[in-house]
Amino acid sequence: MIGARLFAAISLAAFVFAAAGTLRLAIAESLWRTGSLAAGGWPMSVGNSSYYEELAVREPALEVSALGRAVAANPRDSAAWIALGLAAERAGDTDRARYCLLQAEKVDRQYLPAWTAANFFFRQANDTEFWRAARQAAAMFYDDPAPLIDLADHRELKAVAALERLGDTPRLERGYLHFLIAEGRWQEAQEVGGRLALRRGAQDRELLLALTDRLIVAGRAEAALAIARARAGAVTNGDFRIEPSGHGFDWRMTAPPGGAAHWESGRVRFWLARSTPDACALLDQWVVLDPGGYRLRFEYRIDGLAEETGLHWTAVRHGIEEASGPVLTRAAGLAAGDRKTDWSFGVKKPGFYQLRLVYSRVPGTTHIEGRAEFASVELKNL
C-alpha cells in the first residue's frame, strides 16, 4: 500500500516536471517564432549554461566568470568548456586553458573539441598532446580536412610522416594530396599520390589524373610517369580500348570547329566540316621521350576528304613543333587495304613531348567535308 502511494507520488512528480519542461520549451519556441526570443527568451534560461555563455558574449568583462558558471551549471556543455579554455588562453592562464579543453574533449567526443585541443597544443608546442588530439580530429573530420592538415604540416614537415601520425586513411590521403598539389610540393605529392594509387580506388582516378596533369605542367616527367603508371617512350591507351579521359598521359580529343569527335571502343573518329578552320588539332597525348629515333605506327581510314587529307602527326616540345610527319593520303588508308602506316621521327632533347594529330589544309586542295578514323596507335623506340 505504502509502496503504491510512493510510486504514485514519484510518477506525479515526474509528470509535473515533464509538463513544466514541455511548457517552457513551447513558450521559448513561441518567442522564437515571433522574433522576440532575444527580448524574452534569453532571461528565461537564467541558471542554464547557455544563459551564462550568452552573458559572456554580451559582457566581455564578465566573460571568464560567466563561462565558469556555465560549466558549473552544465559540466557536459563542451561549447562552454571550449569558450572558457580559449578565454583562459587569451588571459595567459594556460593551465586552466589546458584543463578546460581536455574537459571539452572528455564530455564531447566529436570533431570540434578535438580540433580545438589540437590547435591549443600546437600553439603550446606540446607535440605529444598535439598529435593525440590531431589524430582524434582526423578520425572524424566531416568537412574540408585542409586546416587540420595545414596544422599537422606545420608540425611535421614530411607529408608521409605527418599522414602516419594523423592515422593514415584514404580520405586523409586525398585531403593531403589536394593540400600538396595546392602548395606545389611535387615530390611529396608524388609520394602521397603513390600511396593512394596503390589502393586502386576508383574514386581516386580523377584526383590522380589531376596530379599527373600538374606534374606534367611542372615538368616532372618521372613523377608523372610513376603516378600514371605510364612508360617513357610509349603511348598510353594507344588501342583506344577506354574512352580518352583528356588528362594525364591519356589522349585529349578535340572536336574540330564545325565538326565532331567520337570515341568507340578501339577507335576514334573525327568529322571535318566545310566550316572547319584551315588548321586545328584533333588528338593529343603527352609522351616522355629520350633523345633518339622513334616510329609511330597507326591505322587510319579516310572518307570524303581530299586526296591529300591535310592530316598529319607532329611532335611538339614546349609549344614548338620538333618533328612533323607526312600528310596522310586517302589511298594509304584502311579502305585501301593497307591497315598500318608508319611515321619515323627523331628527337634531340629528353623530356615531355606532345604527340599531336593535326589537320592543316594543304594549299591548293579544296576544303571538303569528310571523316577520319584512327586505331591502334603504337610508339616504339628505334
Partner 1 sequence: MRLNSLEAFLAVLLAMQLGIDSGFAVAASPAIGTIVTRGAFRMNQATLTSNATLFAGATIETGAAGSLMELASGTRLELGPESRGRFFGDHLVLERGQSKIDKSLGFRVEARGLTVLSDTGGSTGRIRLPGSARVEVSALTGSFRVLNSRGMVVAKIASGKALVLEPQQATGPTRVTGRLVKLGGHYLLTDETTNITVELTAKKNLANQIGQRLEVTGSSDGVATPVSDATELIEVAQATPAPPPATAPAGAGGSSGTGGAAGGAGGGAANGAAVSVTLIAVIAGVAAAAVVGGLAASGSLGGSAAAPVSR
Contact positions toward partner 1, by CB under 8 A?
53, 56-57, 60, 63, 67, 79, 82-83, 86-87, 89-90, 112, 115-116, 119, 122-123, 125, 127, 143-144, 146-147, 150-151, 154-155
Considering the complex, state which of residue 63 and residue 191 has its C-beta at the smaller distance from partner 1.
63
C-alpha cell at 232: 617513357
In whole angstroms, how close is the CB of 77 to partner 1 at the nearest point? 11
In whole angstroms, how close is the CB of 305 to partner 1 at the nearest point? 49
Considering the complex, state which of residue 1 and residue 125 has its C-beta at the smaller distance from partner 1.
125
In whole angstroms, how close is the CB of 50 to partner 1 at the nearest point? 10
What are the distances in angstroms from CA 340 to CA 90, 101, 159, 235, 343? 75, 72, 48, 16, 10
In whole angstroms, how close is the CB of 174 to partner 1 at the nearest point? 14
Considering the complex, state which of residue 82 and residue 268 has its C-beta at the smaller distance from partner 1.
82
Considering the complex, state which of residue 89 and residue 173 has its C-beta at the smaller distance from partner 1.
89
In whole angstroms, how close is the CB of 30 to partner 1 at the nearest point? 23
Strands (E), 198-277: 252-253, 260-264, 267-272
In whole angstroms, how close is the CB of 127 to partner 1 at the nearest point? 7
Sheet holding 292-303, edge to edge: 260-264, 267-272, 370-381, 292-303, 341-347
CB atoms closer than 10 angstroms to residue 16? 10
Which of 211, 237, 233, 236 is CA-nearest to residue 224? Answer: 211
Considering the complex, state which of residue 7 and residue 32 has its C-beta at the smaller distance from partner 1.
32
In whole angstroms, how close is the CB of 151 to partner 1 at the nearest point? 6
Distance between CA atoms of residues 24 and 30, nearest Å: 10
In whole angstroms, how close is the CB of 135 to partner 1 at the nearest point? 17
C-alpha cell at 229: 603508371
Considering the complex, state which of residue 80 and residue 228 has its C-beta at the smaller distance from partner 1.
80
Considering the complex, state which of residue 123 and residue 274 has its C-beta at the smaller distance from partner 1.
123
- DSSP annotation of 145: -
- Helix crossing, 127-138 with 159-166: angle to 10°? 70
SS3 264: strand
In this structure, which amino acid lies at residue 185? R
Considering the complex, state which of residue 14 and residue 57 has its C-beta at the smaller distance from partner 1.
57
What are the distances in angstroms from CA 255 to CA 75, 120, 237, 377? 65, 55, 19, 19
What are the distances in angstroms from CA 244 to CA 73, 222, 267, 268, 270? 63, 22, 10, 9, 14
What backbone torsions phi and psi does residue 196 show, to the nearest 5 degrees?
-70, -40
Q: Are strands 320-324 and 370-381 parallel, antiparallel or unpaired?
A: unpaired
In whole angstroms, how close is the CB of 26 to partner 1 at the nearest point? 23
SS3 332: coil
Considering the complex, state which of residue 26 and residue 57 has its C-beta at the smaller distance from partner 1.
57
